[in-house]
Amino acid sequence: MKYSPLQQARYEYAPKLPGMLRHGITEISVKEGNETQSVADQDKIKALFPNTYGKNEITFEKGQNTAPSKKQVVGVILSGGQAPGGHNVICGLYDALKATNKENVLYGFKKGPSGLIEDDYVIFDDAFINEYRNTGGFDIIGSGRTKLETNEQFAIAADVCKKHGITAIVIIGGDDSNTNAAVLAEYFAANNTGVQVIGCPKTIDGDLKNEDIECSFGFDTATKTYSELIGNIERDANSAKKYWHFIKVMGRSASHVALECALETQPNICLISEEVAEKKMSLSQIADYIADSVEKRAAKGMNFGVAIIPEGVVEFVPEFSALIAEINELLAGSKAEEFNALATWADKYAFIEKGLSKESMTVFAILPQGIQQQLFLERDPHGNVQVSLIESEKLFSALVADKLATRKKNGTYNGKFNALHHFFGYEGRCAFPSNFDSDYCYSLGYNAFMLIQYGYNGYLSKVSNLSKPATEWVAGGMPITKMMNIERRHGEDKPVIKKALVELDGKPFKFFEANREVWAVETSYLYPGAIQYYGPAEVCDITTRTLALEKE
């Protein structure tokens, strides 16, 4: 098979490990820290996880390895959406496993958690693994979104593990996937299966983080990829000088991606969903905020600009959230069939007008027809509006155009406004991982095996001090239950890992807030360029602006 020169070079890249993991397996000891408790709802979480709750945080350090010697047969699963670096988690896990004992075995369960239930797997060897080192994507075994959450599934998983002599399962995923890992770990412990479960923190959205998990893997590469594209668009906008570019980026529940891209590129506008919710901003207020920038720049002869829009921002607008809730009720049960049977949009509009409250209909009426129709596309499995299908970048550019038309009639604006639209999502999920993600993910996988070797169960692989060079990173583990709280899901109380939203009093947002008024009016664009893999460390190994500001 032929490879591109970069692909061949990346196969040969040797990821950097934290200092204490460089001593060789036999010289890695474990230091136990304090007992832990969940971030909230301690009594409820403890009751649900009696065998895995309250365990100690641990750190690996140089010293004699005191783990019992036994053959390890480990299974690994990729769960949820792709994130750059997933292959390296598996490579690090494989290398640590084989460095300990050549007889150790690594199973890769195909297409996510369903592979474990269906006993669909590959057994890795050197040749197989070497084809995927330092590469993007999840194609090594594929991923999936099947949830492991029922006792029937757990019993099947236990049988599959027993069949193959599997001693541990590593689940590589986001908050939901690692919640499932915690529940599976508790089941295995309660039923004395002898199988451990270890999680690894993955998501490009950046919302799986806390005081222990400084960054989920994939966020660095994805935001660098998006920032390169945004910088390219900024350069084009500044060259053509006739378009406003509205760019939607990934991040339904949190705006970490949008904020990081803004810090990297300094666009004229960047909406932060958490701020929209905090200030209870209406669609009209948001449109006025963007229109103000357009008008002020036009007054300086600059009829161009760039606005970054988080994917899920409309869900944070109170009036829009109320509208969504009413639409979900309007189409509940057989009403959906009645609505879909109507022949024309005019008939459907009359149906909607009759069913919505006056307040929600007022909001609905100001939406462009295309957006109105998107709200009535196919429901999700729970019968709800699929908000991610709403083209919010087109929504806000249309609302801004209406605002500017009114201002033009009033004589306060005489510029030109031509909007172009982009959505950056899939472009960043499978990119060649940055050096940071290559190193971080390899360390997470290597570290996961150390947790297995020392007998830990229901733990998340943890690598911290990430704003420093890799040699200064600290490896260890924390109980997954430490991150959990109780949330209402589909009418039931469920234990889940608490999502991390953008902190409006945090240093990254405060830096953005202090500069955005200037960026809104002036052309202050930064052009990050492509991810660099070879050259000076200050160019190739830099972390995100978010992490750098948080650790100042």
Give pLDDT tens digits along the chain (552 positions): 678 999 999 999 999 999 888 878 889 999 999 999 999 999 999 999 999 999 999 999 999 999 988 999 999 999 999 999 999 999 999 999 999 999 999 999 999 999 999 999 999 999 999 999 999 999 999 999 998 989 999 999 999 999 999 999 999 999 999 999 999 999 999 999 999 999 999 999 999 999 899 999 999 999 999 999 999 999 999 999 999 999 999 988 899 999 999 999 999 999 999 999 999 999 999 999 999 999 999 999 999 999 999 998 998 999 998 998 899 888 887 788 899 899 999 999 999 999 999 999 999 998 989 889 988 876 666 566 677 778 999 999 999 999 999 999 999 999 999 999 999 999 999 999 999 999 999 999 999 999 999 999 999 999 999 999 999 999 999 999 999 999 987 678 899 999 999 999 999 999 999 999 999 999 999 999 999 999 999 999 999 999 999 998
User: What DSSP designation does 454 have?
Assistant: T
**How many residues are recorded in the chain?**
552
Q: Which residues pair with 244 in a beta bridge?
A: 305, 419
Q: State the pTM of this model.
A: 0.94
What CA–CA distance (Å, rounded) separates 461 from 266? 34
Sheet arrangement for strand 474-479 = 28-35, 56-62, 474-479, 459-464, 196-201, 168-173, 73-78, 105-109, 121-123
Cα separation, 386 vs 63, whole angstroms: 52
Nearest by Cα to 504 from 299, 254, 184, 152: 254
Sign of CA dihedral 538, 256, 268, 548: negative
The CATH architecture to which 17-218+433-497 belongs is 3-Layer(aba) Sandwich (3.40)
In degrees, rounded to 5, the angle at the alpha carbon of residue 340 between the alpha carbons of residues 338 and 341 is 65
- Distance set, CA 510 to CA 502, 506, 522 (Å): 11, 6, 19
What is the dihedral sign for C-alpha 193, 194, 195, 199?
positive
3-state secondary structure of 172: strand
Give the per-residue pLDDT at 375.
87
Query: 17-218+433-497 and 223-313+374-426+506-550 share one CATH topology?
Result: yes
User: Which residue type, as a one-letter code, is found at position 176?
Assistant: D
Whether residue 135 contacts residue 441, with contact meaning beta carbons closer than 8 Å, is answered with no
Q: Residues 95, 175, 176, 205: which is the catalytic one?
A: 205
What's the CA gap between 253 and 174, in Å, rounded?
A: 13
Q: Is 171 helix (H, G, I), strand (E, B) or coil?
A: strand
pLDDT score, position 2: 78
Residue 430 neighbours by CB under 8 Å, 6+ apart: 82, 84, 136, 137, 138
Nearest-Å Rg of the Cα atoms of the chain is: 25
Q: What residues are paired with 273 via a beta bridge?
A: none
Q: Examine the residue annotation and report whether 205 is marked as an active-site residue of this protein.
A: yes
Q: Where are the domains of the chain?
A: 17-218+433-497, 223-313+374-426+506-550
CA 293, CA 150: separation in Å to the nearest integer? 51
Q: What share of the chain is helix, strand, coil (3-state, %, to 5)?
A: 45, 15, 40
Strand 168-173 with 73-78, pairing: parallel
The yes or no reply on domain 223-313+374-426+506-550 and CATH 3.40.50.460 is yes
∠ CA 504-506-507, rounded to 5°: 125
Beta bridge partners of 422: 247
Q: Which of 388, 336, 344 is CA-nearest to residue 369? A: 344
CB distance 389 to 326 below 8 Å: no
* Distance, CA of 33 to CA of 418 (rounded, Å): 58
